Chain A
């Protein structure tokens, strides 16, 4: 990692009509660290994550990537498409539903951004795509279309597609939630490797094990508010806040059998 990004989220608000999805969010995401976002369904985790690469527009406040405001040139003044695309190049994103392009092979999926966004020649892009796929353990599946890959493999292609662009920040939105339990491990392993290399990662997850063992900090959200940010241990094992306690109780009950 030549240089991992830092993200500064200051007083961010987001409305869907009259409904406030994000309430005055303040969060510092240190470079080279893993931040996990947890919280009940509908609490605004995805919304916050998607604001970081401006897939979702926030209404007020600031989100800065390495000091640079994303989505706006100045508060209230949207930046140009070109500038936004420029910033997005440095931010990888992995979705719950993989969102691979079904008409392209694994290798073409990964090469696409290198060709269209980075402007690499096709042969170069293909070689790099192959490298990225080998890195996620899919060296033998490069010619497969997504329909011919398992969920875990598809998600690893999606990760390869993001890392091939050499991002300095990676956003994950419940990357393992759509997977059968036996496929979760292979994806988490790739993510751990990435974290070990010093990538800045923001991970929305229901995998408390991952949060406990890999995260450097855990942020808990509820009803659009950021309730607490702390070391994983202090959120997951000694939570002070009643809302966190109740969330973890439900979580443990659901996972007990």
Chain B
């Protein structure tokens, strides 16, 4: 082991980690948002739209992220979509994650007892209010563990962004390895950073879960 290389490469790696976190956070939030919209449109939209979204879900889930990213970044300009590496990466993460999140939301919505929605309908609540006040909060509670889980999976998908030269942690680690031949050290750092990130997310997730289910668990 040779740790002195970090004197030189440390700041760069940290910056890379920052970019990783940024990409993960933005990608997750955007993918979740898109997934939620898809899930709602699949629940309430007209039949052709639902069918179209199902095709989208199948296609995106059926292809590797790497391929999607290549198509977006290198194929995009052919149809006039010219994006820098970072926006392309974020868009890629959003598209890649959205069908998984959509499915998570869908099953979360399905877990809301029909009777609780009927109770709202029976007092004359509008469908918009029912979604806002009943379906979303209760569906989110059911979906939370799966949402956190998939967000954790997404942290590791960010390394693929290095392929299209987004300067995230993997990119910096590769650079350091090829310049110094310190493969082991570089990859240890990579593992350590990711472990820390994942651990943090799952802790926050568990707290959040405990907090929002506080009132929902039967304790008579």
A119, chain B: closest CB distance, angstroms: 11
Whether, in the assembled complex, A150 has its beta carbon less than 8 Å from a beta carbon of chain B, the answer is yes
A203, chain B: closest CB distance, angstroms: 15
CB interface residues, B 181-220, toward A, < 8 Å: 215-220
In terms of DSSP, what is the predominant structure of the interface of chain B?
helix
Is the pair A116, B125 in contact by a Cβ cutoff of 8 Å? yes
Whether, in the assembled complex, B143 has its beta carbon less than 8 Å from a beta carbon of chain A, the answer is no
Whether, in the assembled complex, A102 has its beta carbon less than 8 Å from a beta carbon of chain B, the answer is yes
Interface size bracket, B side = 20 to 34
Whether, in the assembled complex, A204 has its beta carbon less than 8 Å from a beta carbon of chain B, the answer is no
Is the pair A147, B220 in contact by a Cβ cutoff of 8 Å? yes
* Cα separation A99 to B138 with both chains bound (whole Å): 13
* Cα separation A85 to B133 with both chains bound (whole Å): 17
Contact of A88 among B124, B137, B217 (CB under 8 A): B124
* Cα separation A256 to B116 with both chains bound (whole Å): 35
Known A55-B118, A149-B220: A103·B123 in contact at CB below 8 Å: no
Known A99-B116, A116-B129: A93·B122 in contact at CB below 8 Å: yes
CB interface residues, A 95-112, toward B, < 8 Å: 95, 97, 99-103, 112
Is the pair B125, A85 in contact by a Cβ cutoff of 8 Å? yes
B147, chain A: closest CB distance, angstroms: 17
Whether, in the assembled complex, B49 has its beta carbon less than 8 Å from a beta carbon of chain A, the answer is no
* Cα separation A97 to B218 with both chains bound (whole Å): 15
* Cα separation A93 to B122 with both chains bound (whole Å): 6
Is the pair B115, A97 in contact by a Cβ cutoff of 8 Å? yes
Sample 19 A-B pairs with CB under 8 A, ordered by A number: A81-B126, A85-B124, A85-B125, A88-B124, A93-B119, A99-B116, A99-B119, A101-B120, A101-B138, A103-B141, A112-B125, A113-B125, A116-B125, A116-B133, A117-B123, A148-B215, A149-B220, A158-B119, A161-B119
